[in-house]
Amino acid sequence: MNENTNTNDDRTAAENADEAELRTDGGQPSDETGPSSELRTDGGEPNDETGPSSELRTDGGAITPADDDSPSFRERKERTDGLSRLTYEYFERSRREDQVLRDDSDYVERDVLGFPAWPHEMIRNLSITSFFVGVILFVSATMPPPLEAPANPTSTPAVILPDWYLYWSFGILKTETLNLELAILGGQTIATDRTFAVLLHGPIIAMMFLVPFLNKGSARRPVEQPFWSAVGVFGVILSFTLSLLAIKNLMATRVPILTSELQLWLSFALPFVGATITYAVLKSMREGYMYDLNRRYYRLRPPR
Amino acid sequence: MSLERTEEFDRGDWLEDKELSRVERGYLLTLMWLDKRLRLVDYLELLEDAYYKTNLQMPKSHTEQYNLDNKFWYWYPLYSLGSLSIIAYVLLAISGALLGFYYSPSATSAAGADATIAYNQIVFIQTDLNFGFMLRSIHRWAAQFMVAAVFLHMIRVYFTGAYKEPRELNWILGVVLILLTLLFGYSGYVLPWNQLAFWAAQIGLEMALSVPLIGEWAAQLLFGGFSPGAPTLMRMYILHVFVLPFVVTSLIAIHVGIVWMQGIAEPH
């Protein structure tokens, strides 16, 4: 078997035929048909090996079918079906489409090399990294964390605060007065104040997930999209005011004018103010910006 | 009919012909030995492929096409916020592993002592351990820097519109990462088991309990009960040193990998 099918290029069909004739026993009838024995694709059965000219091999030997018979990648794929076939077809198609796009494209290849990674980029990144690490080490050497009192479940401290980056969440917990009493429910609230405040996290976080699906298009600069920049400024200011709301006890002692109601009011008014100003400024900038763009455009391509 | 395995490709003669030096011969034999077992050549082929792909002429980037290089690099600090948070994360991993040698998440008190073992270990780290004060300080400050860098990174991405197609998925991944970072910070804040930590745990527990339907289940899962105690500390510890490091590290890898694949969203 291995000598019949393991065809080298330099072996002629005649030689194969001779060998096939030499076989007298053991081979299957189809093997005896001379050169056509090359057409076998069955990987060789043990009884094929018992021909006088073949050596018994125990290692699985040459189970590879001859080149002519082995199905091509495409043929093999076409035999399979279902999801894998679909995937394969899609990849074929998208590769072809890519090639068509590439052929049609008049894209300008770069004629200059970019900023070299070594040494320029590496040195810049290394210096930024070591500067940043140095700042952290310096700050931690000069401002080590204090040792607080050990946990005591029996005495509630006057000030309970998380780390600064969770102030916004803690601030949301203090918005319970927003939990409106609904007339339909006879002056009852839908949820308890605490539940309401915790659930308020949901829409805020969901908003962040949804941003790329709400704001589409190719505009990138804040100037090009005043509304969404205003939304961003709204969010940033809101996170600050909510953080201040978290420490409203401390604020009240520092700034006596700032009553609790006023602060709550301000923490939702200020984001709107900031957003409005951003919108107005960007909108007016945009006209000049678009004028500039248009002027450059018409200079390049003057209207006929 | 021998059971001897016949060498299909006899490389002996070939090696003789090459007249290799001792080192080359040793290298080649090792390579052949490994290749026979691990099919190294396949991977070499992959590497070769990757090599030629990285040296392909890339199309002009946006900044090159419109000659924006000066304007772009002027804003470089804002574009390095992502890597700054990774640097802080690496610092946190190193200092955190060192702190882990000395910390013990036990909210029980030693016999006759007032404070818990966890708190006493923090005191030990800060007062007795060589370099311990600095170690905890580094860990704490690196956490502050990482969270700050992550927040600023998100703001930068928002205002430069870098989350737009085709980068929506990476934005979502980023939001998940920022939330996990906050959870990382919170769970670490609880570990010293001082007054602030205890009452922060209390508030977290009450927040979890306020969620309708799944509140009690969530409180049991995250805090191990309905009031902060030894199980709370243990769960926060496991979250902080076992669960979150694996999850966050792999998500960061995917996040950066996607940036690598898609390229940096350059400013317009």
pLDDT tens track for A157-181: 888 889 999 999 998 888 766 665 5
The whole-angstrom distance between B11's CA and the closest CA on chain A is 19
Yes or no, beta carbons of B87 and A144 under 8 Å apart: no
Dump pLDDT digits (tens) for B163-214.
988 899 999 999 999 999 999 999 999 999 999 999 999 999 999 998 988 9
Percent of chain B with pLDDT over 70: 86
| Whole-angstrom distance, CA of residue B79 vs CA of residue B84 | 10
Pick from B191, B202, B186, B184: nearest CA to B121: B191
Q: Is there a domain that residue B63 lies in?
A: no
The answer, yes or no, to whether residue B97 has pLDDT greater than 90, is yes
Sign, CA dihedral B50-B52-B55-B60, equals negative
**Mean pLDDT value across residues A289-296:** 72
pLDDT for position A90: 75
pLDDT for position B45: 77
Q: Is there a domain that residue B81 lies in?
A: yes
Smallest Cβ distance to B114: which of A135, A150, A195?
Answer: A150
3-state helix, strand, coil in chain B (%, to 5): 70, 0, 25
pLDDT confidence tier of residue B86, bands split at 50, 70 and 90? very high
Average pLDDT value over all residues in chain A: 74
Contacts of B170 in chain A (CB under 8 A): none
* Residue A89 half-sphere exposure toward CB, CA atoms < 13 A: 9
Spatial contact of B120 and B163, defined as CB atoms under 8 Å apart: no
Residues B132 and B170 reside in one and the same domain: yes
pLDDT confidence tier of residue A202, bands split at 50, 70 and 90? very high
Q: Is there a domain that residue B59 lies in?
A: no
Residues B129 and B243 reside in one and the same domain: yes
Mean pLDDT lowest among A144-158, A177-191, A256-270, B248-262: A177-191
Spatial contact of A175 and A264, defined as CB atoms under 8 Å apart: yes
Q: Is there a domain that residue B163 lies in?
A: yes
Smallest Cβ distance to B159: which of A166, A169, A229?
Answer: A229
Pick from A100, A41, A44, A91: nearest CA to A71: A41
Give yes or no for A137 touching B (CB within 8 A).
yes
- Of all residues in chain B, the one with the smallest CA distance to A237 is B155
pLDDT for position B263: 74
The whole-angstrom distance between B19's CA and the closest CA on chain A is 29
Spatial contact of A194 and B205, defined as CB atoms under 8 Å apart: no
Give yes or no for A220 touching B (CB within 8 A).
yes
CATH number at residue B103: 1.20.810.10
pLDDT for position A105: 73
pLDDT for position B95: 96
pLDDT for position A63: 61
Yes or no, beta carbons of A128 and B212 under 8 Å apart: no
A256: helix, strand or coil = coil
**Mean pLDDT value across residues A204-223:** 89
Residues B40 and B77 reside in one and the same domain: no
The answer, yes or no, to whether residue A98 has pLDDT greater than 80, is no
The answer, yes or no, to whether residue A82 has pLDDT greater than 90, is no
Residues B190 and B89 reside in one and the same domain: yes
The answer, yes or no, to whether residue A193 has pLDDT greater than 50, is yes
Backbone φ, ψ for residue B26 (5° rounding) = -60, -45
pLDDT for position B6: 58
Residues 6+ apart with CB under 8 A from B16: none
Q: Is there a domain that residue B168 lies in?
A: yes
Residues B109 and B38 reside in one and the same domain: no
Highest mean pLDDT among A202-206, B51-55, B105-109: A202-206
Smallest Cβ distance to A212: which of B137, B155, B163?
Answer: B163
Q: What is the DSSP letter of B114?
A: S
| Whole-angstrom distance, CA of residue B234 vs CA of residue B215 | 20
Smallest Cβ distance to B159: which of A163, A173, A232?
Answer: A232
Residues B99 and B36 reside in one and the same domain: no
Q: Is there a domain that residue B232 lies in?
A: yes
The answer, yes or no, to whether residue A9 has pLDDT greater than 70, is no
Spatial contact of A202 and A181, defined as CB atoms under 8 Å apart: no
The answer, yes or no, to whether residue A75 has pLDDT greater than 80, is no
Q: Is there a domain that residue B186 lies in?
A: yes
Contacts of A160 in chain B (CB under 8 A): 196, 199-200, 202-203
Residues B47 and B77 reside in one and the same domain: no
How would you classify residue B67: left for phi > 0, otherwise alpha for psi between -120 and 50, otherwise beta?
left
The answer, yes or no, to whether residue A12 has pLDDT greater than 80, is no
Residues B41 and B169 reside in one and the same domain: no
The whole-angstrom distance between B140's CA and the closest CA on chain A is 7
B116: helix, strand or coil = strand
Sequence-distant contacts of B171-175: CB under 8 A, at least 24 apart: B171/A211, B171/A212, B172/A209, B172/A212, B173/B251, B173/B254, B173/B255, B173/B258, B174/B255, B175/A205, B175/A208, B175/A209
Residues B174 and B50 reside in one and the same domain: no
Contacts of B114 in chain A (CB under 8 A): 150
Pick from A121, A303, A246: nearest CA to B203: A246
Q: Is there a domain that residue B99 lies in?
A: yes
Residues B50 and B133 reside in one and the same domain: no
Give residue B155's domain range: 68-262
Dump pLDDT digits (tens) for B104-122.
998 888 776 778 899 999 9
Is A260 or B246 the better-scoring residue by pLDDT? Answer: B246
Smallest Cβ distance to B211: which of A59, A198, A222?
Answer: A198
Average pLDDT value over all residues in chain B: 86
Smallest Cβ distance to A153: which of B122, B164, B198?
Answer: B198
The whole-angstrom distance between A255's CA and the closest CA on chain B is 25
Dump pLDDT digits (tens) for A15-55.
444 444 444 444 444 444 444 444 555 554 555 444 455 55
Dump pLDDT digits (tens) for B120-161.
999 999 999 999 999 999 999 999 999 999 999 999 999 988
The answer, yes or no, to whether residue B70 has pLDDT greater than 90, is no
Total domains in chain B come to 2
The answer, yes or no, to whether residue B37 has pLDDT greater than 80, is yes
Spatial contact of B145 and B81, defined as CB atoms under 8 Å apart: no
| Whole-angstrom distance, CA of residue B121 vs CA of residue B116 | 9
| Whole-angstrom distance, CA of residue A49 vs CA of residue A26 | 8
**Mean pLDDT value across residues A102-126:** 66
Four-CA torsion B166, B167, B173, B175, nearest 10 degrees:
-130
Contacts of A220 in chain B (CB under 8 A): 160-162, 164, 265, 267-268
Yes or no, beta carbons of A151 and B195 under 8 Å apart: yes
Yes or no, beta carbons of A191 and B212 under 8 Å apart: yes
Residues B177 and B202 reside in one and the same domain: yes
pTM over 0.90: no
Test mutation, A107, A138, A163, A237, chain B, max B CBs within 10 A: A163
Spatial contact of B104 and B118, defined as CB atoms under 8 Å apart: yes
**Mean pLDDT value across residues B75-87:** 87
- Give me the helix-helix angle, B117-127 and B132-159, nearest 10°: 100
Residues B76 and B141 reside in one and the same domain: yes
pLDDT for position B243: 96
